Chains A and B, each alone.
Chain A
Amino acid sequence: RKEVEQDPGPFNVPEGATVAFNCTYSNSASQSFFWYRQDCRKEPKLLMSVYSSGNEDGRFTAQLNRASQYISLLIRDSKLSDSATYLCVVNRPTSGTYKYIFGTGTRLKVLA
């Protein structure tokens, strides 16, 4: 079982739709949580950090449930430009430092 699990998709949604991605992590020592966006064959870029209180950035809302070890990302009013792969990332302590653990990503395609 992978340490960070995501539904690979693809999620094909029409423009304007609301779409939600979920992610679970297995290591309870995980300390911080992120969503990264990766366009096809390009480098991952930080979309947003995820906090227990939930956080919002425009059309994007991220939630963390530490008890269930579950992270979510909600995208409202989807745009064509939102088409990408969304990586769930957790950061946990290891050998005196921290380490990013990446999910395999959820692919989103927004259709006109």
Chain B
Amino acid sequence: EAQVTQNPRYLITVTGKKLTVTCSQNMNHEYMSWYRQDPGLGLRQIYYSMNVEVTDKGDVPEGYKVSRKEKRNFPLILESPSPNQTSLYFCASSDRPIRDTEAFFGQGTRLTVV
């Protein structure tokens, strides 16, 4: 089954404790991205990757890091989480070019930073 898998689904952590949210897709997609979704703000792109070892900042990259060492995996790293990073996070993947193609989303990770 074609899918994007994120882990964990739910996470409560404390300020400053490094964490990683994993994302894996089995569709051989080149393009992957991370979004955060907050009430009234919609989905905002954090980082994206057009291929292995190629990553770039989205609209709200501060406080986040990513890596793309393999095509299927695109982890999101919060080196020192803060309460303003409490949000619902989605990983997405699509074929390239993404102009007319569907984006497939993971099930989401609900992160709370206290």
Binding site for B on A (CB under 8 A): 2, 4, 8, 31-32, 34, 41-46, 49, 87, 91, 95, 97-100, 102-105
Q: Please tell me if the beta carbons of A45 and B105 are within 8 angstroms of each other in the complex.
A: yes
Q: Please tell me if the beta carbons of A98 and B99 are within 8 angstroms of each other in the complex.
A: yes
Contact residues in A for B98 (Cβ distance below 8 Å): 91, 97-98, 100
Count A-B contacts at CB 8 Å: 56
Is residue B111 within 8 Å, beta carbon to beta carbon, of the partner chain?
Answer: no
Number of interface residues of B (CB under 8 A): 26
Is residue B106 within 8 Å, beta carbon to beta carbon, of the partner chain?
Answer: yes
Q: Please tell me if the beta carbons of B45 and A99 are within 8 angstroms of each other in the complex.
A: yes
By secondary structure, the A interface counts as strand
Given contacts A42-B108, A45-B105, contact A98 B41 (CB under 8 A): no
Q: Please tell me if the beta carbons of B42 and A42 are within 8 angstroms of each other in the complex.
A: no
